[in-house]
């Protein structure tokens, strides 16, 4: 009986204390949490400062072919030269951009094996690998721009997103025929980096070949590539 009395008193005391705590919480002034963020002594943090990494993101641009590998040769125009001209323009356009650090696999007309090009990208800590090529066809009618992804890449591989972004960027900048994103067996299967191969136009199409030789057109392609990369990296 005495035990029951103690239990009863303890129980009542417990209920009283709990209800006091609940009342205190309920009546706490609503302005308390708000005043913390409005405190003029607190440093103001802009969202950009919190989420944005100040270090540039490294991207590797490969000028396809080079040296003893000229690529397609049509009417005295060599693919390796167009590829390099566009790659150098991508570098020039991004030189003053703090968001990107562009590394080229080659800056001159020289031969580099495919595996070594990928090694350059991996050693540089690249976020992506983009190879620039110029197309050729058996007919003189084929024209336009296309982006290739290695066919070993699964549907969730980020190379597809990179390909879509670059294709979209270059088409928007150049206004050429959009041949879309395609897949075939590529040497890019030897890297796990997001990797695409961009074909910037056809040397076998007479009008497109003339256009590809002009600095203005090369510049438009390069701008499209940069926009596509920035889009892919959410920068």
Q: In whole angstroms, what is the distance from residue 200 CA to residue 227 CA?
A: 15
Q: Give whichever of 127 and 147 is closer to Zn ion, judged by the CB atom.
A: 147
- Does 101 contact Zn ion by CB under 5 A? no
- Does 201 contact Zn ion by CB under 5 A? no
Closest distance of CB 66 from Zn ion, Å: 9
- Two tokens, residue 164: 């879509």
- Which positions from 110 to 139 touch Zn ion by CB under 5 A, shown as an x/- string? -----------------------x------
Interacting residue with Zn ion among 60, 61, 64, 159 (CB under 5 A):
64
Q: In whole angstroms, what is the distance from residue 62 CA to residue 200 CA?
A: 13
Q: Give whichever of 99 and 114 is closer to Zn ion, judged by the CB atom.
A: 114
- Does 224 contact Zn ion by CB under 5 A? no
Q: Give whichever of 64 and 194 is closer to Zn ion, judged by the CB atom.
A: 64
- Does 71 contact Zn ion by CB under 5 A? yes
Please, which residues bridge with residue 60 across strands?
A: 103, 129
Q: In whole angstroms, what is the distance from residue 58 CA to residue 124 CA?
A: 7
**Separation of CA 136 from chain center:** 27
DSSP for 36-99 reads HHH-TTSPP--HHHHH--SSPEEEEEEE-SBTTB---EETTEEHHHHHHHHHHHHHHHHTT-TT
Q: By CB under 5 A, which span of 35-43, 44-52, 71-79, 159-167 interacts with Zn ion?
A: 71-79
Binding region for Zn ion (CB under 5 A): 64-65, 71, 133
């Amino acid at each position: 009986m005495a035990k029951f009395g103690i239990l009863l008193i303890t129980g009542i005391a417990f209920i009283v204390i709990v209800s006091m705590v609940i009342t205190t919480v309920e009546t706490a002034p609503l302005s308390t949490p708000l005043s913390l963020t409005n405190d003029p002594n607190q440093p103001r943090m802009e969202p950009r400062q919190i989420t944005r990494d100040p270090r540039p993101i490294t991207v590797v641009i490969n000028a396809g072919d080079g040296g003893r590998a000229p690529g397609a040769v049509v009417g005295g125009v060599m693919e390796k030269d167009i590829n390099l001209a566009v790659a150098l323009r991508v570098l020039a356009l991004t030189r003053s951009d703090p968001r990107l650090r562009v590394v080229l696999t080659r800056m001159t007309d020289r031969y580099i094996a495919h595996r070594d090009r990928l090694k350059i990208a991996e050693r540089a800590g690249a976020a992506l690998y983009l190879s620039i090529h110029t197309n050729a066809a058996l007919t003189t009618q084929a024209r336009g721009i296309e982006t290739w992804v290695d066919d070993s890449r699964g549907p969730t591989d980020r190379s597809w997103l990179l390909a879509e972004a670059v294709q979209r960027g270059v088409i928007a900048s150049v206004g050429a025929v959009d041949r879309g994103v395609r897949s075939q067996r590529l040497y890019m299967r030897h890297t796990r980096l997001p990797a695409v191969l961009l074909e910037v136009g056809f040397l076998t199409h007479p009008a497109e070949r003339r256009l590809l030789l002009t600095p203005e057109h090369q510049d438009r392609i390069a701008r499209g590539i940069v926009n596509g990369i920035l889009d892919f990296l959410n920068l």
